[in-house]
Structure 1
């Protein structure tokens, strides 16, 4: 039970951090909301459900063949730590979103899918953080893997949906101190996971 709870907490923390962290998809969620209303922003927020599954599968097939190579997996873990540090730092300097063009047709689902497929963040995240964590979790069975994925996607999509709803109703919040503090808190959580991945990477490299 404790392991499952830990996996769920990790999924929630990483999902919320990824959901609120600055990036092309969040920018599109907010710009579509400001230009066309919260409903269009919510449509964009659903993009990870359509784009991440093939990315996860492809990365899993590659990394699952490398789990017996501690040097490679140690390097992947250190790369994941560096990526999380970058995302954490981005949280501290997140710019206020710009409004999109209300005269353009929304096409929010298509824009969201295109933006996420063209966005390097999902590929880097799943290759260096998400799938390595899943491979480690899978040693305890399929349930923790399912729990992590379910909680992660509920959190990342929920975060972006919440951002769309807040942007639609409380536009000033996006330039407020409370928004900055929220982003700083998410940045600190990413630094914590970066530390965990760096420690794991060094252990693997020392044991190689």
Structure 2
């Protein structure tokens, strides 16, 4: 997600990066709810997480290709800005990392907190998303404001580097997805 925040901020300015940074606020509620609901059924989740990881790898591979062939920035239209949000939502929803975190760490913390103090899970969620989204917002603003320094060949090289990073992430998702899918068959 952070790579996508940087890529969109370079391509479309701080507003595009901010939209990607806000994606967890949209996608994580169903992920958290699902994680809490299926926590007792963890043994059956390796295949699902593997499939989600493979789908995420395909989507990140597409993002890497789009970033590789990107041209120097033009002023973004409103529809381009909403595409940034859509990219962020799809990326976060197809990434296995939120699922893994909420199923292995986040949900147990929420459930344990609830048993001790009903306000604890809400405070945990508020602090978590303040830090998570706040860090991404800070990066989007920093990159968006400094993108004027990136012009011509430098801009192309930065985007090609970001495309290579996205490609590495896609390959990691493919590897992890394959391992999760084949873990039940070994």
What is the TM-score normalised by the length of structure 1?
0.57
Pick the aligned partner of 1:65 from 25, 31, 37.
37
Is contact 1:76–1:128 with CA below 8 Å preserved after alignment?
no
What is the TM-score normalised by the length of structure 2?
0.62
Q: Does 1:95 align with 2:75?
A: no
For residues 199 and 82 of structure 1, do their structure 2 counterparts lie closer, same or farther at Cα, with a shift above 3 Å needed?
Answer: same
Q: Offset at 1:55?
A: 2.0
Moved over 6 A (4+): 144-148
For residues 55 and 151 of structure 1, do their structure 2 counterparts lie closer, same or farther at Cα, with a shift above 3 Å needed?
Answer: same
* Aligned twin of 1:122: 89
* Aligned twin of 1:185: 165
- The C-alpha deviation readout for 1:77-127, integer Å capped at 9, x for no partner, is 12232134321464256222454358xxx77xx974x4355x155245335
Pick the aligned partner of 2:106 from 134, 138, 151.
138
List gaps (5 residues or longer) in structure 1: 1-14, 33-40
Is contact 1:47–1:116 with CA below 8 Å preserved after alignment?
yes
List gaps (5 residues or longer) in structure 2: 111-123
Is contact 2:53–2:174 with CA below 8 Å preserved after alignment?
yes
For residues 187 and 31 of structure 1, do their structure 2 counterparts lie closer, same or farther at Cα, with a shift above 3 Å needed?
Answer: closer
The number of residues matched between the two structures is 170
